[in-house]
Amino acid sequence: MIKEKAYAKINLFLNVLSKRLDGYHEMEMVMAPLNLHDVLKFEKLEEDKIEVVTNKEITAKYTDNLVYKVASFIKSEFEIESGVRIHVEKNIPIAGGLAGGSADAAATIRGLNRLFGLGMNTEKMAQLGVGFGADVPFCVHNKLAIVRGIGEKLHFLNTKFKTYVLLVNPKVPVLTKSVFENLDPKEFGQKNYTNLIEGLKDKDISRVINNLYNFMEPTTFKLEPKVKELKDEIQEMGTKGVLMSGSGSTIFVICRKKKLLEDIIDGLSENYLTIITKTF
């Protein structure tokens, strides 16, 4: 049996530059991996089939799950005749903007590469992942990075950004497709991440906090007002370093002091899903 950890991520910066002719969007992001992770276990089956077992229902049909789609593609691409059973232990909130599905897809690529001895290096695995989502190549690597294009262009930052992160999920799923469909093209590409990158390199958390940005927030807030209400509630406590991750619905707070994040949890008015984790 092979085991892989599928790490969540947060977007410290997320900008949309343009919509491409193929329907995808050109992105510019700064992403950091989190210790929070799902656990995937892989074992060979004699029968030529794919079994996906999860502790939480991810999709209505298991064949719609990214894990199944990735496994099916790899089996076909490499002409693998034996079957595989994949057990997914979900800890990352589903449809929460934390790349839970992409992380599982990336872990599936890594896990099957090891299980069947496919010989792919990390770059090859990341390239394979592009077709399954913008966050998958990043999740193959799990390193602080600037991510461009549709997720395939990765520039790793030669620095570590280690801090506590509070994740607060309002328990409303947000569909990434809906957010992209409702973005305002007139606002594309009006921010840059220079100050944020300098803050990361200097390990200046105040500068990082002051330059957090997510272009998708206004659109998600219109589609799911509860996400905006949650962010407002946290900021009204006097909290800094608050941002929505990805297309939502998770709001995160970065802070060096774990106790301050615990105080935020105590001050929340509703029974939100809360997780304290770390970047690495």
Question: How crowded is residue 87: how many other Cβ atoms within 10 Å of its Cβ?
Answer: 17
Q: Please pick, among 38, 135, 228, 231, the residue that the annotation labels catalytic.
A: 135
Let me know if 38 is a catalytic residue. no
Phi (first) and psi of residue 186, to 5 degrees: -65, -20
E strand segments, 144-206: 145-149, 153-156, 164-169
Round to whole Å and give the CA distance between 58 and 38: 12
Helix, strand, coil percentages, rounded to 5, for the chain? 35, 30, 35
Helix (H, G, I), strand (E, B) or coil at 181: helix
**Amino acid occupying residue 21:** L
Let me know if 90 is a catalytic residue. no
Residues comprising the chain, all counted:
280
Sign of CA dihedral 48, 54, 59, 61: positive
Q: Please pick, among 9, 75, 228, 231, the residue that the annotation labels catalytic.
A: 9
Catalytic residues: 9, 135
